[in-house]
Structure 1
C-alpha cells in the first residue's frame, strides 16, 4: 500500500477522534507512535524527519527519554504539522492562534448580520479574506479542529453570501463553496456542523438547479439535526427544494412538519410563519395546485421584525406570480415592481432574473427588470 504524503494538503489525520484523544493527553510518545503508524514510517525515517537518531526516537516512544526543551518541542510540532500549544507551549505564536480564532468568529458574526440585513455584498467582502487566511493556515499545517471548524463555517458562509449576489448562471460557484465547507465538516466528527453545512449546501444546489442533489443533502441535514431549531431550518429548506423539484409528497410532508414545528421552535429569519407561507405558496404553484396557492395568498401573514429584506423580496415575486396566473395584472405588477426596487437596492441579481421569467405578461415590468439586471451585472463586473 502506498504511503501517504504527510505534507500534502490539509492534514486530516490530526482531526480524527483517535488523534484528538491523543493530542488532548499531550503525550509525545503516543503522538510519535500515532504519526508513524498513520504514515507507515519506521523509527529510522521518523528520526530523519525530526533530526534525531533511531535509538533516540525509540527511547522517546518508550518513555525512557523525556523532551522538555521548548525549542525542541516547537521543532517537533512544526515537523509533524501541529500547533505548539499541543505540547503546552504558550507563547506569542499560541497567542496568535487564539487571536485568529477570536477574529474569525467575529468576522463570521458580522458577515451573518450583514447578510441578514440585506447587505450580502458586504458579507462577501468580509469573508473572502478570512477564508483565504484560514486556508493558508491549514495548508501550512495548522489543522487543529478549531481552525478547521472555523474554515468550514467560513466556506459555507461565503457560499451563502455569494448565492445572494451572483446571477443565476454563476450560482454553481456558491454551491462549490458550500460544498467545500461540507467536505471539511463531514470529517470532523461534529454532527451539528455537518448538518449546518449540508443544509446550506443543499439550498445552494437548489438555486443552481441541481434538484436531486439538493433534496438528498437537505434530507441528510434534517436527519442529522440534533435540535428542533436545526431540524426546522432543514425542513423548511427541504420543502422549498421539493416544491421546486415538483416532488409533491416530499413537499407536503415537509410543509406539514414545518407547520407543526412553528409552535415549538424559535422564530428566525429563515423559519417563521411568513417564510413558511412563501415556501408553501410557491410549492403549491410549482406542483400544479394554483387554485390552492391563490386561496393561500389571501391569508398572507404580516412579516415580522426578524423577516429579512431578501425574504420580503422573494415573497413579493412569488405573490406577483400567483396574482398574474389569477389574471390580476395590476396587483401583480405592483408586487413585481416592489420586488425589483428591493432587489436592486440589495444587489440580488437572481431575484431580478426571477422577475424577468415571471413577467412575460407584463412588458413594462419585464423591460424595467432587464434594465435593473444590466446595472447589477455591471456592478458585479466592476
Structure 2
C-alpha cells in the first residue's frame, strides 16, 4: 500500500461550515421554497436584500418579490447559479444535478463504509481500513471545500475523519503519528457541533489517544478528561478511563495513573466490556504505566496474574501486551522469557503491518541482538511496502 501524505483538512470557520447544517436549516431546505431559503440565508449572514441581490446579480426589488413568493424561478441554470452562490447542493432548489445524485448515493452507503473500516481495523487489518476510508474522506472534504454542505454529510465526515485518524495511528511510524492526531482532532471539531453526545465522547477519546501516541501528553490528558466527563453511558466512561490511565502513565503522572486504574478496576464489574475496556486491556495499561512511573517491580509481579484474552481482545492488543510484558521481563533480568514475548509481538506486528509496534520492539531489544536485527528487517519491509 502506498501511504500518501495524509495532510489534515483545511480549517473552515465554524459559522460557514454549519450555516446550512443546523436543524433549523434542515427544515428550511426540506421546504424547497426559494423565498424561505433566501430569507434564511440573509438572516444567518446578517445581510440586506440589496447585498444578496448584488451577489446573485438581481436588484433588491426582485429579491423581495422572490422572498414573498410573488415571483419564482424555474429555469435550471438560474437555480444552479443561486445554489452555487449560497453554497447549496442544486437539488435543494429543485435543480437535479448528476453530481449531486452521485454524492447522495455515496452518503447512503457512507455509514456502511465507516463501520466496515472499523471492523477491519479491529480485526487487525488497519491498512484495509485506511484504504476504505481515504476515498470517502477525500470526497467529503472536497464537497465541504465547495460549501456544498448538509448536516448528514458533515456528520458522516466527522465519523470518517475520526476513523481515518485511528486507522492511520496503527499504520504510521512514530515520527508521523501526529498526522493521525490531526485527523482525529478534525473529527472532534465537527463532533462538538453535532447533537450526539455519545459520538462527541468517542471522538474525544480517540483524539486523546492519538495525541498520547504522538507524545503530546497534556493535550491528551485534557481530551480524555473531557471524554470521561461527558460520557453518557458506563461503557463510554469506562473506555475513557482506560485511555486516561494509559495517558497518565505516559505523562509520568503516578497519582493520576493510580487513581484512574483504580476507577477502571471498579468499573470492570459494572460497565460493558469492549475493545478498549476489558480486563486484558486494563492489565496491559497497568503494566506499561507502572514501568513509565518507575515501578518495574510491581509490574513484574502483575505478569504472573495476567488475565486470559477474551472475545473483546483485538489482535493489536495481544501484540501490544506481548511487547509490554517482554519489556518488563527484560527489565527484571529474565532475558529468555522476555525474548519469547518480544518475538511474539514482533511476528504479530509484522503480520499486521504495525510499524509503531515494531519500533517498540526495537527499543526494547537493545540487549537481544538477534531479535533486534529481525525487528530492523521487519520494519524496513513494512516501511518499504508503505512507500510503494
* Aligned counterparts of 1:9 and 1:68: Cα–Cα separation in 2: 28
Q: Contact 1:17–1:189 at 8 Å: present in 2 too?
A: no
> Among residues 252, 261, 264, which one is paired with 1:255 in the alignment?
261
**2:129 matches 1:123:** yes
Count of residues in correspondence between the two structures: 376
Q: Which consecutive residues of structure 2, in runs of 5 or more, have no partner in the other structure?
A: 1-11
**Superposed CA RMSD:** 2.6
Q: What are the superposed Cα offsets for residues 282-339 of structure 1, whole Å, 9 maximum, x if unpaired? A: 1112112222212211111110122111100000011111111222111110000010
Query: Residue 273 of structure 1 aligns with which residue?
Result: 279
Secondary structure of 1:250's aligned partner = helix
- Structure 2 vs 1, CA of residues 125 and 295 (structure 1 numbering), >3 Å: closer, same or farther? same
> Among residues 139, 153, 159, which one is paired with 1:147 in the alignment?
153
* Aligned counterparts of 1:134 and 1:341: Cα–Cα separation in 2: 37
Query: Residue 32 of structure 1 aligns with which residue?
Result: 38
Query: Residue 65 of structure 1 aligns with which residue?
Result: 70
> Among residues 64, 77, 86, which one is paired with 2:83 in the alignment?
77
* Aligned counterparts of 1:56 and 1:240: Cα–Cα separation in 2: 62
* Aligned counterparts of 1:195 and 1:28: Cα–Cα separation in 2: 38
* Aligned counterparts of 1:166 and 1:130: Cα–Cα separation in 2: 19
Query: Residue 206 of structure 2 aligns with which residue?
Result: 200
* Aligned counterparts of 1:232 and 1:23: Cα–Cα separation in 2: 40
* Aligned counterparts of 1:355 and 1:183: Cα–Cα separation in 2: 34
**2:312 matches 1:306:** yes
- Structure 2 vs 1, CA of residues 64 and 102 (structure 1 numbering), >3 Å: closer, same or farther? closer
- Point out the more displaced range, 48-57 or 335-344: 48-57
Shift of 1:45: 2.5
Shift of 1:162: 0.9
Q: What are the superposed Cα offsets for residues 145-191 of structure 1, whole Å, 9 maximum, x if unpaired? A: 11011111111111111110111111111112112222222233443
Secondary structure of 1:13's aligned partner = coil
* Aligned counterparts of 2:54 and 2:263: Cα–Cα separation in 1: 60
Q: Contact 1:16–1:189 at 8 Å: present in 2 too?
A: no
* Aligned counterparts of 1:17 and 1:235: Cα–Cα separation in 2: 32
- Point out the more displaced range, 36-45 or 90-99: 90-99
Query: Residue 174 of structure 1 aligns with which residue?
Result: 180
Q: Contact 2:224–2:243 at 8 Å: present in 1 too?
A: yes
Q: Contact 2:35–2:69 at 8 Å: present in 1 too?
A: no
Secondary structure of 2:193's aligned partner = coil
Secondary structure of 1:152's aligned partner = helix
- Point out the more displaced range, 254-263 or 341-350: 254-263
Shift of 1:94: 6.2
Q: Which consecutive residues of structure 1, in runs of 5 or more, have no partner in the other structure?
A: 1-5
Secondary structure of 2:19's aligned partner = helix
* Aligned counterparts of 1:66 and 1:212: Cα–Cα separation in 2: 58
Written as runs of structure 1 = structure 2, the 5 A alignment for 1:1-382 is: 11-16=17-22, 19-20=25-26, 22-23=28-29, 28-61=34-67, 63=68, 65=70, 67=72, 69=74, 71=76, 76-84=82-90, 86=92, 95-382=101-388
- Structure 2 vs 1, CA of residues 24 and 199 (structure 1 numbering), >3 Å: closer, same or farther? farther
Shift of 1:89: 7.3
| Structure-1-length-normalised TM-score | 0.89
Secondary structure of 2:20's aligned partner = helix
Q: Which has the higher contact order (CA 8 A, sep 6+)?
A: 2
* Aligned counterparts of 2:131 and 2:249: Cα–Cα separation in 1: 32
